[in-house]
Structures are given as structure tokens and as C-alpha cells.
């Protein structure tokens, strides 16, 4: 797996929890309160509830103020950082509703909560405002919309967020049919773009606002990755350890299952690192480092990359990465810093 492909993998990052947000001192009065956000997340169809919250919020506050407030909730409680991505998706949907086009919506968004604002904007671009629309859009139209959705001339990190958000959005159009959604991604012009879109499809499958539509197995740790065609499996395994954790596996067992992924062990191990990044962001860099150090060779390096890339993806700088790299053993620390620099130069231009 080369560094460019690893960079794609790094950006497909978030996890979900139901922790109760706490109020951050000095938040604008019109910010949706944590209790209301929690109530929405607890509902089977949380998307519409969150949309309405942010629709009201945007009547009084700017997108930047709302994004900052959500980030502050996570600063108050590190565990909230695990649940903010679907929240910011909703804000992105509402920003697109106001702006009316991808360019202006993206200008109003930022990378908060793993760039969920960008993903939500693309989702609203494709799906429109009515939940009934998915039932009236044919596969040929989905493919056509997907091919024209993102601007390849945009900065690489922004282009990626559009492509990844596209993967989330086509799952809405196909009513969570993985095969048809991947087919829409196949309309994109190159492997990098297609892989970026595939990642959004598999992420949406695991984090669907309608749990009944998830394409998962109660017993098979590798499903659906072991069911889809081989060209899709790398992207699938880059998110699959979240599902394994949901099924009760801890770090040591996760690495064991990744070994069973065969040629996709590296992507699977990088997915473990991505999940561990939440531990590092919460101020627990050494425990995160120790978890990666449980294995040797390429899986160990992939785990480190997963942590590094996910941490940078949250802020587009190295504020969380430096403590993590320092917590690793000497040789691993050097590798960590090297990959951090490479990633920043490739996707952020620093």
C-alpha cells in the first residue's frame, strides 16, 4: 500500500458514541443545546431531527460559529469527539440548503469532526430536500449525478471530501444498496477517485441513520468486506474494525481478525489505528501507542499510520500528532513523524 493510497485511507475516519454532550462556557445562546442533539441521535431517523435543529440555528448563527460550538463540546468531553461526525453531516446539509451550490457550501464548511460538513453538503446536493426523492431516481441518473458532482480542480483534500461525501450520498439514493452505490462510484474517472467514493459507501453502511438498513452480519466479523468484489475490499476493510469493535472485539482480537483478511491485512490494521486515534485525541497517547506496538512489521506501521492520518484529518495540522509520535518507541517515533510530514505535504500543502 503506497503512501498516496494510505492518504485516501486516512481520510475515511470517524466513530460513533452516545455520550451526553456538556455545555461549553460562553457558547452563543442560539447554539442547539447538547440535550437536543442527544435526543436527535437517539431517534431511529436522526437525520431529519438534526437538520431541523441546525436549520433553526443557522437563522441566528454563522456556519463557522456552529462548527466551533460542536468542536467545543468535544473539547469539554473527549468522548463526544466520537459522535460528532453525523451531527456535522446535518449541519453540512443545511448549509448547502442555504447556499444552493457545492462551491459556496464548501467555502462555509471546514474540517471539524472529520470533515462531516463537506460530506453533508454533497449529500444534500444529490438528494435534494424530500425524503421521497430516492424512490424516483433511476440508477442511470445516479451514475450521471455521481460523475459530475465533484470538482477535480479543487485542492486535493477538498476534492477528497467531496468524493467521500459522494459515497455517503449515493447510499441514500440507492436506499442503502451497496452494490448499486459502488457502481455509481465506478463512474468516476480514476482509481483514486473511485476508492475515495467507495470509502464513503462503506462508512455510510455502518453509520446509517436508519439502523434497519445496515448491510451487516451478527456473527461474521468480515462481512460485507468478504462478500463484495476484490476491487472494493481494501476500502471496506479501512472502516471494518469499527464494526468488529461494535461486535465486542478488543485490540488484540482485532489484529487477529485482520490477519484473516489476507491481502487486505494492512488496510484492516490501519483501520485499527484510525479507531485508536480517538484515544490519542483524548490525551491518552501512550495507551494508543502501546496498542499499535502489540504487533510487528507492516501491520504495526499501518496502525501507526492510521492514528497519524486520522489525527491530522481532524485539524489539518499536527497538534494531536506530536504527542502521539513522542509516545512511541524511538524507531516508531521516527516513522510516525516521517509519515506525519508526508501526509501534511500531500493533503494540506505544508
In tens, the pLDDT along 282-320 reads: 899 999 999 999 999 999 999 999 999 999 988 888 999
Rounded average pLDDT over 67-82: 72
Instruction: Judge whether residue 135 has pLDDT over 60.
Output: no
The sign of the CA dihedral 209, 214, 216, 222 is negative
Rounded average pLDDT over 60-69: 92
Backbone angles phi, psi at 325, to 5 degrees: -60, -40
H or E, element range at 41: helix 34-41
**Tens digits of per-residue pLDDT, 1-42?**
544 444 454 444 333 322 223 334 456 777 888 888 888 888
Coil, helix or strand at residue 193: helix
User: Exposed, middle or buried, 287 (CB in 10 Å: 0-12/13-18/19+)?
Assistant: middle
The sign of the CA dihedral 191, 155, 314, 287 is positive
Q: Grid coordinates standing for 216?
A: 451487516
Dist CA 60 CA 69 (whole Å): 14
Residue 152: pLDDT band with limits 50, 70, 90: confident
**Tens digits of per-residue pLDDT, 177-228?**
999 999 999 999 999 999 999 999 999 899 876 677 899 999 999 999 999 9
Cα-based distances in Å from 191 to 163, 169, 196, 302 = 12, 19, 8, 21
Report the percent of the chain where pLDDT is more than 90: 51
Dist CA 292 CA 301 (whole Å): 8
Dist CA 167 CA 146 (whole Å): 9
Coil, helix or strand at residue 175: coil
Are the CB atoms for 8 and 199 separated by under 8 Å? yes
pLDDT at res. 210: 67
Instruction: Judge whether residue 233 has pLDDT over 60.
Output: yes
Are the CB atoms for 30 and 217 separated by under 8 Å? no
Rounded average pLDDT over 336-343: 96
Question: What's the whole-number average pLDDT of the chain?
Answer: 84
Residues whose CB is less than 8 angstroms from the CB of residue 12 and which lie 6 or more positions away in sequence, other chains included: 164, 199, 200, 203, 235, 238, 239, 274
pLDDT at res. 41: 82
Dist CA 18 CA 41 (whole Å): 8
**Tens digits of per-residue pLDDT, 247-273?**
999 999 999 999 999 999 999 999 999
Q: Grid coordinates standing for 117?
A: 460538513
Residue 141: pLDDT band with limits 50, 70, 90: confident
Are the CB atoms for 197 and 187 separated by under 8 Å? no
What DSSP string runs through 265-321? HHHHHHHHHHHHHHHHHTT-HHHHHHHHTTS-HHHHHHHHHHHHHHHHHHHSSSTTH
More confident of the two residues 12 and 332: 332
More confident of the two residues 114 and 285: 285
pLDDT at res. 130: 53
Instruction: Judge whether residue 236 has pLDDT over 80.
Output: yes
Residues whose CB is less than 8 angstroms from the CB of residue 136 and which lie 6 or more positions away in sequence, other chains included: none
Are the CB atoms for 14 and 113 separated by under 8 Å? yes
Coil, helix or strand at residue 155: coil
Are the CB atoms for 291 and 303 separated by under 8 Å? yes
Q: Grid coordinates standing for 337?
A: 513523524
Rounded average pLDDT over 138-152: 78
pLDDT at res. 57: 93
Are the CB atoms for 201 and 178 separated by under 8 Å? yes
Residue 134: pLDDT band with limits 50, 70, 90: very low
pLDDT at res. 3: 43
pLDDT at res. 106: 82
Dist CA 174 CA 254 (whole Å): 31
pLDDT at res. 186: 94
Instruction: Judge whether residue 103 has pLDDT over 50.
Output: yes
Are the CB atoms for 119 and 104 separated by under 8 Å? no
Q: Grid coordinates standing for 122?
A: 454533497
Instruction: Judge whether residue 62 has pLDDT over 80.
Output: yes
Dist CA 318 CA 108 (whole Å): 23
Global confidence as pTM: 0.74
* C-beta atoms surrounding 252 within 10 Å: 10
Amino acid at each position: 500500500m503506497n503512501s498516496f493510497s494510505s492518504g485516501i485511507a486516512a481520510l475515511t475516519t470517524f466513530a460513533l458514541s452516545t455520550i451526553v454532550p456538556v455545555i461549553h462556557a460562553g457558547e452563543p445562546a442560539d447554539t442547539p443545546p447538547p440535550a437536543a442533539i442527544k435526543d436527535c441521535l437517539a431517534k431511529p431517523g436522526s437525520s431529519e431531527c438534526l437538520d431541523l435543529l441546525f436549520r433553526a440555528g443557522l437563522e441566528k448563527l454563522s456556519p463557522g460559529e456552529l462548527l466551533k460550538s460542536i468542536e467545543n463540546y468535544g473539547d469539554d468531553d473527549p468522548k463526544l469527539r466520537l459522535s460528532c461526525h453525523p451531527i456535522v453531516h446535518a449541519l453540512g446539509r443545511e448549509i448547502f440548503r442555504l447556499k444552493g451550490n457545492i462551491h459556496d457550501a464548501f467555502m462555509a464548511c471546514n474540517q471539524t469532526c472529520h470533515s462531516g460538513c463537506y460530506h453533508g453538503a454533497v449529500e444534500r446536493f444529490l438528494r435534494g430536500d424530500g425524503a421521497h426523492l430516492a424512490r424516483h431516481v433511476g440508477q442511470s441518473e445516479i451514475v450521471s449525478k455521481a460523475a459530475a458532482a465533484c470538482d477535480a480542480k479543487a485542492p486535493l483534500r477538498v476534492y477528497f471530501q467531496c468524493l467521500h461525501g459522494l459515497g455517503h450520498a449515493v447510499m441514500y439514493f440507492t436506499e442503502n444498496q451497496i452494490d448499486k452505490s459502488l457502481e455509481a462510484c465506478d463512474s468516476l474517472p480514476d482509481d483514486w477517485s473511485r476508492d475515495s467514493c467507495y470509502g464513503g459507501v462503506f462508512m455510510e453502511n455502518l453509520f446509517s441513520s436508519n439502523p434497519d438498513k445496515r448491510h451487516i452480519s451478527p456473527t461474521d466479523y468480515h462481512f460485507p468486506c468478504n462478500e463484495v468484489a476484490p476491487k472494493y475490499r481494501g476500502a471496506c476493510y479501512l472502516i471494518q474494525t469499527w464494526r468488529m469493535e461494535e461486535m465486542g472485539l478488543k485490540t488484540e482480537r482485532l489484529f487477529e481478525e485482520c490477519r484473516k483478511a489476507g491481502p487486505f491485512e494492512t488496510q484492516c490494521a490501519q483501520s485499527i489505528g484510525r479507531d485508536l486515534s480517538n484515544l490519542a485525541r483524548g490525551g491518552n497517547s501512550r495507551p494508543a501507542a502501546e496498542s499499535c506496538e502489540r504487533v510487528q512489521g507492516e501491520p504495526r506501521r499501518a496502525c501507526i499510520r492510521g492514528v497519524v492520518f486520522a489525527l491530522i484529518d481532524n485539524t489539518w495540522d499536527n497538534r494531536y500528532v506530536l504527542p502521539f509520535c513522542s509516545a512511541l518507541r524511538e524507531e516508531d517515533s521516527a516513522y510516525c513523524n516521517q509519515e506525519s510530514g508526508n501526509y501534511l505535504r500531500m493533503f494540506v500543502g505544508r
